[in-house]
């Protein structure tokens, strides 16, 4: 089977840095993705890691450690528009499906 | 360039009725997915499809039926709706050509079963 764990909620102020952790247990692990979903909207792709290390995309970065079955999404210079839910998702080798975590709701306060 | 669309966007129905949610994508992506999203459960896969006429069950398929006669369409039918099927339903597509397996989501259908 598969399982993903991520915190349910995080609150931070504008300009701060937030780290959302994701631990997974997945046989045949291939890669870890992150999706953002604003309230009432559709999930949209943010980032992907297949190899260990950090991937940077503007203010957002994602990290993966395959040996620890762990990854995180780092949100820097938080803005009000970053208030949203963030989902980690794992993909498996030879499988085109994704398995999503329950999501982390990030609330940015002024 | 509509991308991926869903209809209806909102639907209220009664227990026992049959409901069909439509999904259409214009990218000719091979892979399509149906998810339901409920508070505290994230996105749960209902059914998925690798190509026209190829479908398979996901994590929570009971009470749902899908078909895929054309690559661009992937309708989801609730044969006899129950209150527990009240949820937000998202359709997604992927071409599986990219290393990231990125899925592109439709805007969702909010379904209420009374």
Number of A to B CB contacts under 8 A, please give it.
Answer: 54
Contacts of A97 (CB under 8 A, 6+ apart): A91, B33, B45, B48, B58
Beta bridge partners of A53: A64
pLDDT of residue B41: 78
Q: How far is A45 from chain B (nearest CA, A)?
A: 7
Cα distance from B99 to chain A (closest Cα, Å)? 9
pLDDT at A106: 98
B70-86: string of b/e by CB count within 10 Å (b at 16+)?
ebbebbbebeebeeebb
**Considering chain A, what is the average pLDDT of its residues?**
95
Mean of per-residue pLDDT scores for chain B = 93
Contact B102 A45 (CB under 8 A): yes
Judged against a pLDDT cut of 90, whether residue B54 lies above it is answered with yes
Average pLDDT over residues B5-12: 98
């Amino acid at each position: 089977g598969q399982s993903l764990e991520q915190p349910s909620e995080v609150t931070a102020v504008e300009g701060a840095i937030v780290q959302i952790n994701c631990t997974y247990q997945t046989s045949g692990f291939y890669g870890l993705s992150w999706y953002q979903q604003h309230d009432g909207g559709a999930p949209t792709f943010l980032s992907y890691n297949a190899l260990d290390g950090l991937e940077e995309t503007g203010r957002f970065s994602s990290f993966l450690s395959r040996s620890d079955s762990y990854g995180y999404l780092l949100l820097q210079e938080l803005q009000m528009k970053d208030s949203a839910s963030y989902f980690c998702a794992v993909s498996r080798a030879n499988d085109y499906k994704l398995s999503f975590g329950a999501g982390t709701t990030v609330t940015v306060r002024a | 360039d509509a991308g991926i669309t869903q209809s209806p966007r909102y639907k209220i129905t009664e227990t026992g009725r049959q409901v069909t949610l439509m999904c259409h994508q214009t990218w000719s992506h091979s892979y399509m997915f149906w998810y339901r999203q409920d508070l505290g459960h994230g996105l749960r896969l209902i059914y998925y499809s690798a190509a026209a006429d190829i479908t398979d069950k996901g994590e929570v398929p009971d009470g749902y039926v899908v078909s895929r006669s054309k690559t661009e369409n992937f309708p989801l039918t609730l044969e006899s709706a129950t209150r527990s099927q009240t949820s937000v339903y998202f359709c997604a597509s992927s071409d599986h050509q990219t290393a990231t397996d990125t899925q592109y989501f439709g805007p969702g259908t909010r379904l209420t079963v009374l």
